[in-house]
Amino acid sequence: MRQIFLDTETTGLSPESGDRVIEIGCVEMLNRRLSGRNLHFYLNPERRSHEDAVKIHGLTDEFLADKPLFASVADELLEFVDGAEIVIHNAAFDVGFLNEELRRLGRPKFPGFVRRITDSLFMAREMFPGKANSLDALCRRLEVDNSNRSLHGALLDAGLLAEVYIRMTRGQNSLVIDAGDTSAGQAALEAVDFGRLDLPVVLASEAEAAAHIIVLIELDKASGGKTVWRHLEPVT
């Protein structure tokens, strides 16, 4: 599975009003492991950046003046993302800007070049309803080190997003081994009669049981009261 974590920085907030992309950062992941392949551009937007935007990313008009135009890097960008799943935090923002840049070149919209686009902000809101779900907030919550992020940067943010995504999706999809899988090197599994095993039962202490109840209460709050166990009949 090939995934690209993508972020952009822009001159402002509205591509419809002429704001442009000034930085693109892409980080590649193959089968949930960083490949080491990244793509990064600074771009000349051919217009001035809004003052508030510069305060966020720190990319001045003077710094961007000698950088390439989007038109000169478009083919390289589209080749890099071709056929991959693209993961973006608040995808509508970045995709809207990329679509507008491609429109200026008479090219199809960005989603047409990729397998699919996953919005990690939507994922975070599903997992942590009612909580702050900015990239900084997720880094704090999931213990991802973002101490180098004094300003927004597309490549830095794409790398942080990759780490956040892994921690948000770290559960295994399945514990089932396909009995029909005869791939080379897989040893045959001998059936085990668990009825013959004398398994010890370790009971929780009062303190551990109390701590467990607190965790369940917090989970119930975080889900907005949608936890399943609240609606199950007790087993006697």
Give the residue among 11, 14, 15 at the shortest CA–CA distance from 43: 11
Is 89 one of the catalytic residues?
Answer: no
Secondary structure class of 163 (helix, strand, coil): helix
Catalytic residue chosen out of the listed positions 57, 89, 152, 231: 152
DSSP 146: -
Residues constituting the chain: 236
Determine how many CB atoms are found less than 10 A away from the CB of residue 126.
10
CB 28 within 8 A of CB 37: yes
For every residue of 175-235, DSSP letters joined together read ----TT---TTPPPPPP--GGG------PPPHHHHHHHHHHHHHHHHHTTS--GGGGSPPP
Secondary structure class of 10 (helix, strand, coil): strand
Catalytic positions, written as ranges? 152
